[in-house]
Structure 1
Amino acid sequence: MATVTIRDVAALAGVSPATVSRVLNADPRVGAPLRERVHVAVEKLGYRPNSQARSLRTRATRVLGLIITDIQNPFFTALARGVEDAASERDYSVVLANSDESLDKEQRYLEVAAAERMAGVILAPSSTAHSRIGTLTERGIPVVAIDRRLRSAEVDSVSVNNQKAAKDAVGHLISAGCRRIAMITGPSGASTATGRLSGYRSALREAGIEPDPALEIRGDYRIEGGRAAVRAVLALPERPDGLFVGNNLMMVGALNALADTGVRFPADILLAGFDEMSWAGFAPPITLVEQPSYEIGRRATELLLRRVAGEVFPAQRIVLPARLRIRGSTHRVA
C-alpha cells in the first residue's frame, strides 16, 4: 500500500502543503475552516506524520527572505524598510540578499531560503522569463515578486504601472518642446525595462513622432551603463533635444557623461528619469517618476504573510500608482 504524503492531504483538503504543515503543528494563524478541512482529510487518508520531519517543522523559523537585484540602488532601501516594518509588526525577521542581476547568484539564495526553511520569500527577479522559484514552491514556501513580474510561475506580485509612468514622463518632455528624445532603457530580461520602453514609444507615437531605434540605447540599470549609453547618444550625427533615463543609477552615469562632455541641462538638453534621486542633490533638480518604494515593500510583505498563514486565493497582481515630479531639468532655458 502506498504511503500517504502531506501532498496527498493537501490535495484532498484543497490547500497548500505548507498549510497542512501549519495545521499539524497547531499554528494559531490558520483559521478554523482551513484547520477543519485539513483534519478531515488527515482522517480520511489515515495520514500519520513522520516524527523526524515533524520535529524539523516545529523548528521552522519565523524568517522571511528578501532577495533584491542591486543593494546599491536606493530604490531598494526604502522598499526593504517597508518589508522590515510590516514583518516586524507580525514578529517576523527579514534576511536580505543581493543577486547582482545574476541568475546563478539568485538561484543560490533561493536554495538557501529553502534549506533554511524560511517562512516565505519576497523576490525582485533577475529575469522576468528565466528566474526559477520551483526550489521554494515545491516545498510549500510562498513567494511574492516585487518590482518585476515572473512569467515562469503564477505568483503574487507588487509593482507600479511602468508603461504609464514612462509615457507620462516622455509626454512631459514632448509638451516642453522636445521632438528628438533619446531613451536609455534597462536590461532586456527585465519587465520594468520592457514596460518603460513601451511607454516611451507610446508617448512618441501619440505625438506623431515615429520612434527611432538609434535613439533607444540599451543600459544595465548600473551607473557605468548610463555613462556609456549617454556617450553613445552624444556621438550620434544629430544630438537629441530630450533624454529619458530608465532608472536612477543610470541617471547618475548619464549626468557624469553630460558633465564630462560639457553638455548642460536644461540649456542644451531636457532631462527626465525614473526613480527618485533626492539623495543625490543635483542642481537643478531632475524631473523624475517617483515610485512608492516603501509601500511596495509593505504591501508585498502583507500579501506574503497571508500566504504564510495558509490563506488560499488566486494569484494577486497589485499595481500601485507612480507619480511624475516635475522639476527644473525640463524647464526650457530661454
Structure 2
Amino acid sequence: MSERPTSRRRYLKGAASVSAIGLTGCLGGGGGDYVDMRVGSSTQGSTVFQTSQAIQRVLREQSDSVRWDTQTTGGDPASTRIYDQGDLEAYGMTNYTVKNALNSQEPFEDEDLDVPYQGFTYFVRDDHFVALDGTGIETTDDLLGRDVYLLQPGWGTRQQFMDAMDEDPDLKEELTENVVNIDTGDVAGAAEEGRIEAILSYGANEVNLPTWMAETGARVDLHSVEVTDQFQDVFEQSNLVSYYEKDTYGYEQDVGDTFQGWNLLFQYFFDPDLSADAVYEVLEIAYEHYESVQEGQPAFFPYGEEPEHFVTAIESDFLPVHPGAADFYEDHDLWDDSWERGD
C-alpha cells in the first residue's frame, strides 16, 4: 500500500492553518496506512460538491490505500487559499481560477500562492440564463437593470463571468446594476418570494443541474433566456468562455427548447507531494467504477467507455500534469507530448 507522503508545506504552514480549516472540517491525517486527500469542493449543493461526494463514497468502497475527504470551502478562491495554507491536498475548479492564483491576479492580487499540478477533467459546465415566468424577461437585453442572480459571491466562476463581461464594460454595468448577492442555498426562497427575476444557472455534462438549481426549478416556473447579439459577441470575443447553443436538459419542467450560453471546464488538481501511486489509483477507480460514481452523481463522465474525457481540460503551457495522472495517461494512450510531466 502507498504510504502518506511527507509534505514540506505541512510542516512549514501547519500551525498557521488551523483557523482556516475551521471552514472545512478537521485537519487531515492518515490514521492508517493510506494517503489522505482532503479535496476542496466549493459549497454544498454545487456540482463540484456533488461530484466530490460521489467519488468519496466509491473510493472508500474500492480503495484500501486512498482516503478522499470532501471539504466544503465556500468557493474556488477559498479552496485555493486553504490549499496554500497546507490544509488541502487537492481541489476541483476551473483552470481560470488557478491561473489567476498563479499570476496573482484578481481576486489574488498581492498574494504569492502555491498551486498544485493538473490532474483530470471531471465536468463541462453549461452556463445559461433562465427567467421566472411572468417577469417579461425573454432575452438577455431584458436582463439589464433587473434583479438578476449571477452566482454566489466568492465563487471563482462568478469572477470568471464578470471578467468575460469586461469585453463590454457598459453592458456589464447595466447587467450588474441590481445584482442579487446571496448564497446558492437561498436562491429558491428568494425566487419564490419575487426577490429574483432571473438566474445565471448551469448544467453539468448535459445530464443534470446542481442541487440548488433543481430545488429552485421545483418551486418556481422558469423559461430559458435567448442570448442577443451584443451578449453573444461578448462570449465569442472573450478567451475566458466558449459560446454554445444546445438542447435544454436537466429541468423537470418545460423551459424551452434551447440553451444559449457559455461553457466552463473543470478539473481536479493534485498536490505535487501526493504519491504517483495514490493519484493513479484515483483515476483508475474513476475509470473502472464510473458507474458506481454515477449512482451518486449521474453527470460523472463514463471514463471507462470514453477515457478521452479525462484530458479535456488539460492544457499545455500551464502547470505540469501530476506524475500519477501522467502514468495513467501513458498507460491508456491519452498522453500528449506537449504537456509537461510533474516531478
Bin of the TM-score, shorter chain as denominator length: 0.3 to 0.5
Compare CA radii of gyration and give the structure with the larger one.
1
Please give the TM-score of this superposition, normalised by the length of structure 2: 0.41
> Which structure is richer in relative contact order (CA contacts within 8 A, separation 6 or more)?
2
Please give the TM-score of this superposition, normalised by the length of structure 1: 0.42
Give the structure with the larger helix fraction.
Answer: 1
